[in-house]
């Protein structure tokens, strides 16, 4: 019954695949990931990528990467490149199986001719508006177009002339001849080809006639010998049409379309339209803004492909639509980074500390563990001296209950160094704000020394003032303040829920010197604070870190509870 991690077990698609293999329906499965190159990939696509590539991998099958490039007016080579980079980054390899729907334009056209000859397609010369009016409504049947009865010869002639470029955009379309009274609207003579005098990013000016998704997709699948064509729920209604093309044409195979629920995440948006809107209106700084759920945003934020894959595996595949909590994604990010990120000390909001009884001008190199979760990660050395910085949050002149950090008279340990005690506070005369803390240290309590075992309630991270490097930190929170961005007062739109604190830039952070020259993309745990990733904005002598995700903070919970 219950397996250790049952959510990582079977899903209905895996069952179908395994049954098809068991019954011999297929000897090898072939799946495909078919993005349209008109936008950047996001974590919702990752679910599909992991499903398609993962399923094939598990069963010694193969996966094609096929660009569904049937609409040249919105597509570009910029996107085909970024999509390939993102799929590779996620960790999947399509080998030499890179395809384009546009690569089948000739054959698709031949199939259209076949359809006409069989009396199953016709050229319609109604306007888009008229076609819409003829389509009927959800509850009323549609009406036949007056052109529905054109002869095969006339249809063939018209189609050839459409292809030849004799007609302007919108004057004619090729439609399947199915049933204008079908309760499923997709079967009311859907459009197969439309005229578009637009250059295509791959075929250039060769065509002015472009196939629709409904027509191109099943045929591309069949031509490639796809066994399982996995798509999202909204295409469920299109399946009868998908099958209709394959049943009415001499195709080499008949793939099975299977639909699953797309991924939704709390506190963010996933639709192409909204992502475009956020970028376009400047609510975020480009497609790779670390607050975005795009793969490029997640990567820049410091998220690993391993974490995304683990997340996708865990959430499973199903037909009911739901919304995953962002906390679950964050959990998988922490889990992965905890294992692999080197620890380092960094002070985000510095407060000066002077150790009065520590000799001026003296520096000690203290040994620090790089990663307690990974003994193989080794150790490094951090410089200690009389003047340090600690986190402003780690000092309180009047401590709240259960505050185990620095406060007058209370001993705390400085990580990898000594036990110190605050003896006085220097305050800004005007604001009353603490600007410097004076301490004494106990030389006997050096980490690893004779009195090192003495218990203190708190351990603080710190950096030596003279040795620290300056850095900028970018702290991120959810892009939207509410779990459901659409939860807005009447008359407002989702942008009303944009979280004004989704990005906080901290200049003047102080980090330990081992971080000097850290390359963009490297990930660290800033002890007691969170996981951080070096941002590409970093330059020589200028370090910029993105906070990928904060560490779990039980003090924050205590404090919050005390305030209530």
Partner RNA sequence: UGGGGGAUCGUCUAGUGGUAGGACAUCAGACUUUGGAUCUGAUUACCCAGGUUCGAAUCCUGGUCCCCCAGCCA
Site for RNA in 298-357 (CB under 7 A): 314-325, 327-328, 330-331, 334-335, 338, 343
Determine, following the binding rule CB under 7 A, whether residue 52 of this chain makes contact with RNA. no
- Is 81 one of the annotated active-site residues of the chain? no
Write the CB contacts of 435 (distance below 8 Å, at least 6 apart in sequence): 351, 352, 426, 427, 428
213-224 helix and 105-117 helix, angle to the nearest 10 degrees: 110
CA–CA gap between residue 196 and residue 475 (Å, rounded)? 46
Annotated catalytic residue 272: yes
58 contact partners, CB below 8 Å, separation of at least 6: 14
CB of 149 to RNA, least distance (A): 18
Size of the site for RNA (CB under 7 A): 104
Q: What residues numbered 381-440 form the site for RNA, per CB under 7 A?
A: 402-405, 413, 415-416
**Which of 14, 135, 196, 272 is the catalytic position?**
272
Q: Is 252 in the site for RNA (CB under 7 A)?
A: no
DSSP, res 494: G
Question: Catalytic: which of 120, 143, 163, 262?
Answer: 262
In this structure, what are the phi and psi dihedrals at residue 535, rounded to the nearest 5 degrees? -85, 150
Could you give the string, one character per residue 162-181, with x where binding to RNA holds by CB under 7 A and - elsewhere?
Answer: -------xxx-x--------
The Cα–Cα gap between 437 and 521 comes to 35
Q: Which H/E stretch holds residue 524?
A: strand 523-526
Other CB atoms within 10 Å distance of the CB of residue 30: 21
Question: Could you say whether residue 191 binds RNA (CB under 7 A)?
Answer: yes
36 in active site: yes
Q: Which of 458, 496, 499, 503 binds RNA (CB under 7 A)?
A: 458
- Rank residues 285 and 562 by Cβ distance to RNA and give the closer one: 562
How many angstroms from the chain centroid is the CA of residue 95? 23
**Quick one: 325 or 433, whose CB is closer to RNA?**
325
Residue 417 to residue 437: CA distance in whole angstroms: 17
Which residue bears the tokens 């924050």? 556
Please select the residue that binds RNA; options are 22, 398, 539, 561, rule is CB under 7 A: 561
Burial of 349-365, coded b for 16+ CB within 10 Å and e otherwise, reads ebbebbbeebeeeeeee
Q: Which parts of 198-227 interact with RNA (CB under 7 A)?
A: 210, 212-214, 217
Q: Cβ-count burial of 33 within 10 angstroms (0-12 exposed, 13-18 middle, 19+ buried)?
A: buried
Q: What is the DSSP string of 112-128?
A: HHHHHHTT-EEEE-S-H
Secondary structure E strands in 140-285: 173-176, 191-195, 209-211, 228-232, 256-260
Q: Taking the complex as a whole, how short is the minimal distance between the CB of residue 547 and RNA, in angstroms?
A: 14
CB of 87 to RNA, least distance (A): 16
Which CB sits closer to RNA, 520 or 551?
Answer: 551
Residue 512 interacting with RNA (CB under 7 A):
no
If one counts every other C-beta atom within 10 angstroms of the C-beta of residue 264, the result is: 15
Binding mask 262-301 for RNA (x = CB under 7 A): ----------------------------------------
Question: Near RNA by CB under 7 A, which window of 23-31, 368-376, 378-386, 497-505?
Answer: 368-376
Interaction between residue 519 and RNA (CB under 7 A): no
User: Is 22 an interacting residue with respect to RNA (CB under 7 A)?
Assistant: no
Q: Kindly name the residue from 32, 36, 194, 309 that is annotated as catalytic.
A: 36
Q: List binders of RNA among 524-543 (CB under 7 A).
A: 525, 527-528
- Closest CB 132 distance from RNA, rounded Å: 4
Residues annotated catalytic, as ranges? 36, 262, 272
């Amino acid at each position: 019954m219950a397996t250790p991690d049952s959510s990582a077990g079977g899903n209905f698609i895996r069952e179908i695949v395994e049954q098809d293999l068991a019954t011999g329906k297929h000897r090898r499965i072939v799946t495909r990931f078919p993005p349209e190159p008109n936008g950047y990939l996001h974590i919702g696509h990752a679910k599909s990528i992991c499903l398609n590539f993962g399923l094939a991998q598990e069963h010694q099958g193969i996966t094609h990467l096929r660009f569904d490039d049937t609409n040249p007016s919105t597509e570009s080579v910029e996107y085909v490149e970024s999509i390939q980079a993102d799929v590779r980054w996620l960790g999947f390899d399509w080998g030499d199986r890179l395809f384009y729907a546009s690569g089948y334009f000739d054959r698709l056209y031949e199939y259209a001719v076949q359809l006409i000859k069989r009396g199953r397609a016709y050229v319609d010369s109604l306007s888009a508006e008229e076609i819409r009016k003829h389509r009927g409504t959800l509850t009323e049947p549609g009406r036949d177009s007056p052109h529905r009865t054109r002869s095969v010869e006339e249809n063939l002639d018209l189609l050839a002339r459409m292809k030849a470029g004799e007609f302007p955009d919108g004057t004619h379309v090729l439609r399947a001849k199915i049933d204008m009274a079908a309760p499923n609207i997709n079967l009311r003579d859907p459009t197969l080809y439309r005229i578009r005098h637009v250059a295509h990013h791959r075929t250039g000016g060769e065509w002015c006639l472009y196939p629709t998704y409904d027509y191109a997709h099943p045929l591309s699948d069949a031509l490639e010998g796809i066994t399982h064509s996995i798509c999202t729920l909204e295409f469920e209604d299109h399946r009868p049409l998908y099958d209709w093309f394959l049943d009415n044409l001499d195709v080499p195979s008949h793939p099975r379309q299977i639909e699953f629920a797309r991924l939704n995440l709390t506190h963010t948006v996933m639709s192409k339209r909204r992502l475009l809107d956020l970028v376009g209106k400047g609510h975020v700084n480009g497609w790779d803004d670390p607050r975005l759920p795009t793969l490029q945003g997640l990567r820049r934020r410091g998220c690993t492909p391993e974490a995304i894959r683990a997340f996708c595996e865990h959430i499973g595949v199903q037909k009911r639509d739901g919304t995953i909590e962002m906390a679950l994604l964050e959990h998988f990010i922490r889990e992965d980074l905890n294992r692999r990120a080197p620890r380092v000390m960094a002070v985000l909001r510095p407060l000066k500390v002077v150790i009065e009884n520590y000799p001026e001008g003296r520096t000690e190199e203290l040994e620090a563990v790089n990663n307690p979760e990974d003994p193989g990660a080794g150790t490094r050395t951090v410089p200690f001296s009389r003047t340090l910085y600690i986190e402003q949050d780690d000092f309180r002149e009047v401590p709240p209950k259960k505050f185990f950090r620095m406060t007058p008279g209370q001993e705390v340990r400085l990580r990898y160094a000594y036990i110190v005690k605050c003896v006085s506070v220097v305050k800004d005369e005007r604001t009353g704000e603490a600007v410097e803390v004076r301490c004494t240290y106990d030389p006997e309590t050096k980490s690893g020394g004779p009195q090192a075992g003495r218990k203190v309630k708190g351990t603080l991270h710190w950096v030596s003032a003279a040795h620290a490097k300056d850095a900028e930190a970018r702290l991120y929170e959810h892009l939207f303040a509410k779990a459901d961005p659409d939860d807005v007062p009447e008359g407002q739109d989702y942008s009303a829920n944009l979280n004004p604190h989704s990005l906080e830039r901290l200049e003047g952070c102080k980090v330990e010197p081992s971080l000097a020259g850290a390359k963009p993309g490297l990930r660290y745990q800033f002890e007691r604070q969170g996981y951080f990733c070096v941002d590409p904005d970093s330059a020589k002598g200028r370090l910029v870190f993105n906070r990928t995700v904060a560490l779990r903070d039980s003090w924050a919970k205590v404090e919050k509870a005390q305030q209530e």
